């Protein structure tokens, strides 16, 4: 794969030498320009992926350069002081991202990687003309498929599809019969005048609630037909929904305070880690706060400085020594109001073995979670909602509650976002991953249809953004469920590489290894996931994965300890109750085993209860068919469930 080309615009200096060295080491091809004039000449002659320019002074020439260039290529501004950004903000000049000096090498490469990923996703979205959306319906020209506002696939003939495509490409405009005949020429019987009328009748039978009074495909007497396309049908929302997406709220990470000289190195590296990890998310705008920015906030107040930097949130913290232990406190503040939103307290000592986890991983995960919840709250109270805000609402709901109803509610927001922006990779990934999770959790009312739709959405999302975390996680879940274990492991491994601080990918990767009969390899992933979760909402699933590993490894008492902890965190998850039934059955506590089995059966969706009815149905699932699992793990699980009262047939 050819290395991305980055144009560095800066006068010869040691900072430029350092910058080019860091980027070359990261695998980028570097072009140099000493001045803005030279940069324009290079851009006229060469194709580049990103421009990194040092903006020591926000001159009129710099503003004009960024304005002219940013429509063609993302521009990363390297600023010496926060005040310089205010000039670009006031002039409405779209810098892709900014980095304030001093910055770390890891932060710089992460921010550039995120900027390139955002532009790649935007390019995929702009190429989305192959997908047409109207009134909640989605017409995929490439896949030759039509889905209704509920996600149900509608079968069309080639002529029906061509006619609907012609109408959808010119919504709310009257198209004559002759023009529509041209659109289907050669795809149906010889075109005579009634051909179009018959096709419209067939489409109405498939798409209209009341064919006698059609609302979607209207007849315009004497002229032809019109597709009445709108963006306000489907699930009602109290807020007005608007097209286009506002940029995500920016986050700044301020330098951390250190209680003593011994803590200073950790404070510096922790702030750098937070900036680098947060910047990996393509939907997060991260500004590294400099010492000067911190002093400006102290002198003029957070609200004044946040207006200059267009900030949504501020992350601050401190590191102090408590005997042999270093204590870490991290705070999240609303930049506009100064309100305190969240605090995380952590230690470099962990109560659970951490494997390859770093002390900052738990904090980054918790911080990302709180930022998503905060964005969901902002969207909830907004007067207008765009596609990105609808996705934020759905994500916020999922983080606050893990129930069938919360997932259904989140899916409605994701559906609405997709109907508003049919090329949104985030909407495809969020909806596809949630549908996949519902299938795996046995919470789906129609598992076959949801599985088919989830796979289609996730494949489209990955084509548009191969490094999208949610899309790779959802695809890994689905592939594991289908018994395609090694493909699942590859997808889940990729997800952990995209975001090493998200415990969900680690948990699912561990389960995939269990189902290929390798519980020993799965155990470190579950331990790392539990360490990252801390006291968060995902800890119940991490405990369940830990308990599952120990159950298959033959550590019955340890398995029971972790599974009881999992039930205490979320008793509504059927897979936790079923695995707990097996653990009780294995140690001979049969009354409790039967209680857990009955609870698991009640918690699954009616469509999936047959899987929990008997052992024959349960072990017929594709994910349980790997030879190593059948030889090593399955006997332990099935024998224990049999003792719990699950009959053979």
Closest among 224, 215, 244, 245 to 137, alpha carbons compared: 215
Residue 541 has pLDDT above 50, yes or no: yes
Answer with the residue of higher pLDDT: 417 or 229.
417
Q: In 3-state terms, what secondary structure has residue 2? A: coil
Which among 316-320, 347-351, 471-475 has the top mean pLDDT?
Answer: 471-475
Residue 202 has pLDDT above 70, yes or no: yes
For 84-95, the pLDDT digits (tens) are 666 665 555 667
- Cα distance between residue 227 and residue 208, in whole Å: 12
pLDDT for 126: 46
Quick one: pLDDT band at residue 513, thresholds 50, 70, 90?
Answer: very high
pLDDT for 231: 42
**Buried/exposed 315-333: b ≥16 CB within 10 Å, e otherwise:** bbbbbeeeeeebbbbbbbb
Residue 111 has pLDDT above 90, yes or no: no
Q: Which one-letter DSSP state was computed for residue 204?
A: H
Quick one: pLDDT band at residue 244, thresholds 50, 70, 90?
Answer: very low
Which among 170-184, 225-239, 349-363, 482-496 has the top mean pLDDT?
Answer: 482-496
Answer with the residue of higher pLDDT: 48 or 304.
48
Q: Which one-letter DSSP state was computed for residue 190?
A: S
- Cα distance between residue 639 and residue 443, in whole Å: 25
Residue 551 has pLDDT above 90, yes or no: yes
Q: In 3-state terms, what secondary structure has residue 214? A: coil
Q: Which one-letter DSSP state was computed for residue 384?
A: E
- Give the DSSP H/E element, type plus range, for residue 385: strand 384-385
Quick one: pLDDT band at residue 14, thresholds 50, 70, 90?
Answer: confident
pLDDT for 237: 30
Residue 59 has pLDDT above 80, yes or no: no
Closest among 94, 89, 82 to 119, alpha carbons compared: 94
Answer with the residue of higher pLDDT: 202 or 54.
202
Task: Tell how strand 174-176 and strand 50-54 pair up.
Answer: unpaired
pLDDT for 328: 85
Answer with the residue of higher pLDDT: 176 or 426.
426
What does pLDDT average to over the chain? 81
pLDDT for 610: 86
Cα-Cα end-to-end distance for the chain: 53
Distances from the Cα of 284 to the Cα of 37, 368, 588, 645, angstroms: 31, 9, 51, 49
Instruction: Name residues whose C-beta falls within 8 Å of residue 67's C-beta, 6 or more positions apart in sequence.
Output: 91, 93
For 561-572, the pLDDT digits (tens) are 999 999 998 888
**What's the rounded mean pLDDT across residues 92-104?**
70
pLDDT for 56: 61
pLDDT for 433: 96
Answer with the residue of higher pLDDT: 110 or 529.
529
Distances from the Cα of 65 to the Cα of 75, 172, 204, 347, angstroms: 10, 40, 53, 46
Which among 138-142, 213-217, 221-225 has the top mean pLDDT?
Answer: 213-217
The 10 Å Cβ neighbour count of residue 11 is 11
Residues in the chain: 649
DSSP alpha helix (H) spans, 327-424? 359-381, 387-400, 404-420
Instruction: Name residues whose C-beta falls within 8 Å of residue 514's C-beta, 6 or more positions apart in sequence.
Output: 522, 548, 549, 552, 629, 633
pLDDT for 351: 41
DSSP alpha helix (H) spans, 465-502? 469-481, 485-498
For 291-330, the pLDDT digits (tens) are 556 666 777 777 777 766 667 888 888 888 777 777 888 8
- Cα distance between residue 488 and residue 579, in whole Å: 22
For 486-504, the pLDDT digits (tens) are 999 999 999 999 888 899 9
**Cβ(149)–Cβ(420) below 8 Å:** no
**For the chain, percent of residues with pLDDT exceeding 70:** 84
- Lowest-confidence pick of 271-275, 370-374, 446-450, 494-498: 271-275
pLDDT for 271: 81
For 560-605, the pLDDT digits (tens) are 999 999 999 888 888 899 999 999 999 999 999 999 999 999 988 7
Q: What angle do CA 396, 398, 401 make, to 5 degrees?
A: 105
Answer with the residue of higher pLDDT: 237 or 636.
636
pLDDT for 309: 64
Q: Which long-range contacts (CB under 8 A, 24 or more apart) does 152-158 make?
A: 152/449, 153/449, 153/452, 153/453, 154/206, 154/207, 155/206, 156/203, 156/206, 157/188, 157/202, 158/187, 158/188
**What's the rounded mean pLDDT across residues 58-81?**
78
In degrees and rounded to multiples of 5, residue 333 shows phi and psi of -120, 145
Quick one: pLDDT band at residue 235, thresholds 50, 70, 90?
Answer: very low
**Cβ(590)–Cβ(567) below 8 Å:** no
For 431-466, the pLDDT digits (tens) are 999 999 999 888 888 888 899 999 999 999 998 889
In degrees and rounded to multiples of 5, residue 250 shows phi and psi of -80, 150
Closest among 206, 209, 227 to 218, alpha carbons compared: 227
Quick one: pLDDT band at residue 559, thresholds 50, 70, 90?
Answer: very high
Domains observed in the chain: 1-126 (3.40.50.2300), 141-227 (1.10.10.10), 247-372 (3.40.50.10610), 386-499 (1.25.40.10), 509-649 (1.25.40.10)
pLDDT for 522: 94
Q: What angle do CA 284, 285, 291 make, to 5 degrees?
A: 130
Residue 514 has pLDDT above 90, yes or no: yes
Residue 535 has pLDDT above 50, yes or no: yes
- Cα distance between residue 455 and residue 434, in whole Å: 11
Quick one: pLDDT band at residue 348, thresholds 50, 70, 90?
Answer: low
**What's the rounded mean pLDDT across residues 92-115?**
74
Quick one: pLDDT band at residue 239, thresholds 50, 70, 90?
Answer: very low
Residue 130 has pLDDT above 90, yes or no: no
pLDDT for 581: 95
pLDDT for 646: 93
**What's the rounded mean pLDDT across residues 35-56?**
85
Residue 198 has pLDDT above 80, yes or no: yes
Does the N-terminal peptide bond of residue 102 adopt cis geometry, omega within 30 degrees of 0? yes
In degrees and rounded to multiples of 5, residue 630 shows phi and psi of -60, -35
Helix (H), strand (E), coil (C) string for 414-449: HHHHHHHCCCCHHHHHHHHHHHHHHHHCCCCCCHHH
Residue 238 has pLDDT above 80, yes or no: no
């Amino acid at each position: 794969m050819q290395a991305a080309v980055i144009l560095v615009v800066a006068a010869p200096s040691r900072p430029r030498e350092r910058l080019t060295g860091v980027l070359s080491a990261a695998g980028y091809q570097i072009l140099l320009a000493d001045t803005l004039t030279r940069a324009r000449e290079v851009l006229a002659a060469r194709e580049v992926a990103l421009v990194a320019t040092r903006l020591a002074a926000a001159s009129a020439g710099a503003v004009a350069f960024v304005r002219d260039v940013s429509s063609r290529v993302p521009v990363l501004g390297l600023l010496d002081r926060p005040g310089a950004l205010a000039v670009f903000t006031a002039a409405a000049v779209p810098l892709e991202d900014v980095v304030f000096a001093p910055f770390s090498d890891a932060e710089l490469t992460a921010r550039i990687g995120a900027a390139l990923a955002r532009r790649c996703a935007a390019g995929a979205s702009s190429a989305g003309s192959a997908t047409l959306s109207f009134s909640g319906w989605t017409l995929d020209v490439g896949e030759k498929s039509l889905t209704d506002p509920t996600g149900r696939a509608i079968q069309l003939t080639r002529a029906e599809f061509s006619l609907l495509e012609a109408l959808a490409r010119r919504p709310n405009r009257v198209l004559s019969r002759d023009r529509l005949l041209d659109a289907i020429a050669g795809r149906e019987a010889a075109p005579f005048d009634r051909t179009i009328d018959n096709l419209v009748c067939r489409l109405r039978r498939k798409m209209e609630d009341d064919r006698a009074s059609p609302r979607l495909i209207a007849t315009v007497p004497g002229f032809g037909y019109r597709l009445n396309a709108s963006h306000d049908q489907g699930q009602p929302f109290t807020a007005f929904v608007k097209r286009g997406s506002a940029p995500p709220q920016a986050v700044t990470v301020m330098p951390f305070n250190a209680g003593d000289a011994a803590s200073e190195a950790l404070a510096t590296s922790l702030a750098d880690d937070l900036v680098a990890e947060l910047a990996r998310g393509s939907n997060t705008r991260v500004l590294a706060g400099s010492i000067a920015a911190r002093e400006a906030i102290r002198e003029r107040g957070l609200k004044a400085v946040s207006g200059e930097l267009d900030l949504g949130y501020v992350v601050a913290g401190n590191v102090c020594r408590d005997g042999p232990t270093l204590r870490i406190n991290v705070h999240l503040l609303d930049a506009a109001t100064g309100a305190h939103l969240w605090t995380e307290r952590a230690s470099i000592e962990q109560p659970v073995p951490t494997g390859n986890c770093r002390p900052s991983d738990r904090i980054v995960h918790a911080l990302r979670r709180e930022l998503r919840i905060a964005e969901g709250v902002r969207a909830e109270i907004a007067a207008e909602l765009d596609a990105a805000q609808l996705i934020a609402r759905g994500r916020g709901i999922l983080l606050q509650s893990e129930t069938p109803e919360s997932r259904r509610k989140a899916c409605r927001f994701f559906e609405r976002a997709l109907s508003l922006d049919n090329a949104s990779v985030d909407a495809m990934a969020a909806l596809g991953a949630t549908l996949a999770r519902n299938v795996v959790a046995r919470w789906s009312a129609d598992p076959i249809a949801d599985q088919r739709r989830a796979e289609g959405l996730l494949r489209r999302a990955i084509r548009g953004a191969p490094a999208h975390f949610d899309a790779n996680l959802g695809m890994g879940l689905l592939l594991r469920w289908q018994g395609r274990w090694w493909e699942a492991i590859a997808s889940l491994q990729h997800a952990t590489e995209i975001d090493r601080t998200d415990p969900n990918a680690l948990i699912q990767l561990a389960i995939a290894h269990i189902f290929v009969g390798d519980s020993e390899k799965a155990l470190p992933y579950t331990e790392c996931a539990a360490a990252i979760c801390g006291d968060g909402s995902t800890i119940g699933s991490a405990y369940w994965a830990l308990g599952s590993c120990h159950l298959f490894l033959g550590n019955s008492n340890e398995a029971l300890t972790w599974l009881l902890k999992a039930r205490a965190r979320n008793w509504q998850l059927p897979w936790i109750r079923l695995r707990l039934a097996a653990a009780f059955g294995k140690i001979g506590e049969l009354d409790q085993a039967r209680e857990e089995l009955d609870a698991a059966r009640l918690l699954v969706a009616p469509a999936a209860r047959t899987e929990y009815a008997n052992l024959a149905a349960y072990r017929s699932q594709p994910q349980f068919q790997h030879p190593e699992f059948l030889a090593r793990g399955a006997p332990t699980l099935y024998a224990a469930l049999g003792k719990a009262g699950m009959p053979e047939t």
